[in-house]
Structure 1
Amino acid sequence: MNNKIVLEIPYWVSHYNMLLYATYYYCIQNNYRFEVKLNKKINNGVILNFNNKNSFFDYSDDVLFIEKPTNFDFYFKRSLLEKDFFDNILPLNFQVNYSYNSLSFIKCLDRKILTDQKSRVEVIRALDYFNKITNLSHRAMDISTIKRNDNDYQGRVIFQTRLWNPDNNPSLEEKERRNKQNAFRINTCRLIKKYYKNSLVGIYPDSYSSKIASDLLLDKKSITKSIYFRNLFCSDIAIADDGLKDTPGWKIGEYAFFGKAIISTPISTVVESFDENVNFLKLSDRNSYHEIPDKIEWLIEQKRYSEIGSNNFDWANKNLHPKSYIQRIITIMELNK
């Protein structure tokens, strides 16, 4: 067996972090050779090469395919619909943005990647180990610091989110989607804030949010990624809804990683072994914010949030943690030689 994994990327952006750092972690733990090359022929996504086979990784929010699956041995897609789950097409489950030993990791990258203009932000983030320069919303969480908090916060709820201005997109369909999404997020925050005084809810402050939800704006001093993770760590119940293109965003993966009980709008994409009433409580539809208080009360009763949170922490270890995330990929590629 050739114990070497080679990744090809067109540039380095935060959407690739999970695969890049997970592969790096896996290679270190299993004494594999690790290499990342620049490939400008890739429009988006990442190619993984192992044992003379290749896999394409599609991390887009859209359910549409960014490449032809038949061009690769395997096609792993994050936003995969059940109807597209066949042949060589496989789900990537949830996505989270994490890092591991970033100062050593960048030494494995092709110099052309590090000097590419589109890679500039992630290079700075990787070098900014002590979080002094780039405390931004897409900053990766350090995988070595993630652990389950066994403290009980009496059912504390967290939902810190943002709005999308419908006027910033020319598509009528997208405008409607954003209006629906914004309405859910605003009404959810107001409901939770009204009935659960110990909650951590609010809207990211920007000019648009200030106009339509001024009563919900988060303090600008408390919107850094590090503070958000600290708040998430000290919560029990987390609210999730669809992100861009009506597919799950990064937030729900973070909830699972931190071992939180989850209440979510319906999940339309394939997420393996992530089950209703075991890992999350499902709302009826995209507009059903009025159901949230009853869901919260059910979780608080008999402290059910603790059991579901524990289920999610276990699920994340089996599906999202680098040690298992890449092992699944390698196993699939080895079993289908």
Structure 2
Amino acid sequence: MKLELPYWTSHHNMILYSLLYFCEQNDQVFDVSFNAKIATGGAILYSNKQMIFLDYSDNMLFIDNPEKYDFYFKRSLLFQDYKENVHPLNLQVNFSYKALKLLMKFNFKDLINKTNRTEIVRAMDYFNLVTNLSHNAMDVRSFPKKAADNNGKIIFHSRLWNPDNNADLDEKIRRQSQNEFRIEACRIIKSNFKNVSVGIFPDELAKKIAPELLLDIKSTSKKEYFKSLRNADIGIADDGLKDTPGWKIGEYLLFGKAVVTTPLNTIVDDFKEHINFEKVQNRSAYSELPEKIEYLLSGKRYLEVAENNLKWSESYLHPKNYISRILTITKNTL
């Protein structure tokens, strides 16, 4: 088995660390190389004489042609595009597994390649002193093994995107709608519930339009955020870039949390309303959040949903099954 990447970005952490885990568990050689001809956000997995393209783009559009490959797995996959050799990658999470060991697997020329620099620095930042996204801070070995009860605590840590920083009119409108949901969601949760951890990343835009919601900058590192997440029960999620599910919802699932989200516009296998999540009608329906949260709080339903999500994430997101699931699909659809 061999994995090819265009270069190492945070979009590739899930597949890289899952491959390391898989190779350890199955006594296989970890073989990764870089090929600049591969589309950014993509990767190619070679297994059993098959070429398997992995599309980790936020965009619903395909970054390569599925006809070129035996199988094409896509993260942000629309229902109408689920056909022939195309399959969903489901949700994505930025996690790690034995980061320093992974670094030792790379060739020296790849370690000093400037295109890989950001993730290499994060992987080396063992004590979370240099970056806000230390790979050691997001090692799956430290994730919860069972759901805990924190008395129904609600969490929603988010950030804003400045509409003025993009020239495209449609993107400006999308960002305005996204920002409105995130701000109003924080406000309505704070006004209706006491056991909460909600707020907005304290950049200049947030300071200007939502100064009462600013998070402490120290709490925004991955290490500190995961501490907050561990102590919560219900996570609020909305679409990320390109109106597709962001990484936050996957983090909620791996940490065993119940979820209230905006509608999911892409395929997520076996992920069901009232079993894995509750949803509001649309991104403008933040006024529905208290009702959805109260439903989960009633009789502590959030604990049952949390257990469901731990099981789901183990099957679809955790590195113990991530590669195996892909290989099973390629084997069973020959």
TM-score tier (shorter): over 0.9
Instruction: For residues 255-287 of structure 1, give each alpha carbon's deviation from its aligned partner in whole angstroms, at most 9, with x where no partner exists.
Output: 000010100000000000000000000111111
Q: Provide the TM-score with structure 1 as the length reference.
A: 0.96
For residues 119 and 256 of structure 2, what CA distance do their matches in structure 1 show? 27
TM-superposed deviation, 1:231: 0.5
Q: Aligned residue for 2:254?
A: 257
SS at match of 1:290: helix
Q: Aligned residue for 1:212?
A: 209
RMSD: 1.4
Unaligned ranges ≥5, structure 2: none
Change in Cα spacing, 1:122 to 1:35, as seen in structure 2 (3 Å) is same
Given the alignment, which residue of 29, 34, 40 partners 2:36? 40
Is the 8 Å Cα contact of residues 12 and 113 (structure 1) preserved in structure 2? Answer: no
For residues 258 and 324 of structure 2, what CA distance do their matches in structure 1 show? 26
For residues 63 and 138 of structure 1, what CA distance do their matches in structure 2 show? 27
Given the alignment, which residue of 293, 296, 308 partners 1:296? 293
Instruction: Report the residue type matching 1:33 in the other structure.
Output: V
Q: Aligned residue for 1:53?
A: 50
Instruction: Report the residue type matching 1:289 in the other structure.
Output: Y
Is the 8 Å Cα contact of residues 122 and 134 (structure 2) preserved in structure 1? Answer: no
Is the 8 Å Cα contact of residues 166 and 179 (structure 1) preserved in structure 2? Answer: yes
For residues 136 and 202 of structure 2, what CA distance do their matches in structure 1 show? 18
SS at match of 1:90: strand
TM-superposed deviation, 1:47: 0.5
Q: Aligned residue for 2:113?
A: 116
SS at match of 2:44: strand
Unaligned ranges ≥5, structure 1: none
Q: Aligned residue for 2:328?
A: 331
Instruction: For residues 198-251 of structure 1, give each alpha carbon's deviation from its aligned partner in whole angstroms, at most 9, with x where no partner exists.
Output: 200000000011111111011122221111101110001110000000000000
**Size of the alignment, in residue pairs?**
333
Q: Aligned residue for 1:158?
A: 155
Q: Provide the TM-score with structure 2 as the length reference.
A: 0.97
For residues 133 and 144 of structure 2, what CA distance do their matches in structure 1 show? 22
Q: Aligned residue for 1:15?
A: 11
Change in Cα spacing, 1:136 to 1:34, as seen in structure 2 (3 Å) is closer
Is the 8 Å Cα contact of residues 125 and 135 (structure 2) preserved in structure 1? Answer: no
Instruction: Report the residue type matching 1:288 in the other structure.
Output: A
**Which has the higher mean CA deviation after the structures are superposed, 265-274 or 191-200?**
191-200
Given the alignment, which residue of 61, 78, 83 partners 2:80? 83
Change in Cα spacing, 1:221 to 1:302, as seen in structure 2 (3 Å) is same
Instruction: Report the residue type matching 1:37 in the other structure.
Output: S
For residues 138 and 91 of structure 1, what CA distance do their matches in structure 2 show? 26
Instruction: Report the residue type matching 2:275 in the other structure.
Output: V
Is the 8 Å Cα contact of residues 137 and 223 (structure 2) preserved in structure 1? Answer: no
Instruction: Report the residue type matching 2:14 in the other structure.
Output: M
Q: Percent identity?
A: 52
For residues 310 and 220 of structure 1, what CA distance do their matches in structure 2 show? 31
Change in Cα spacing, 1:248 to 1:140, as seen in structure 2 (3 Å) is farther
- Tell me if 1:6 matches 2:2: yes
Instruction: Report the residue type matching 2:166 in the other structure.
Output: N
TM-superposed deviation, 1:140: 6.4
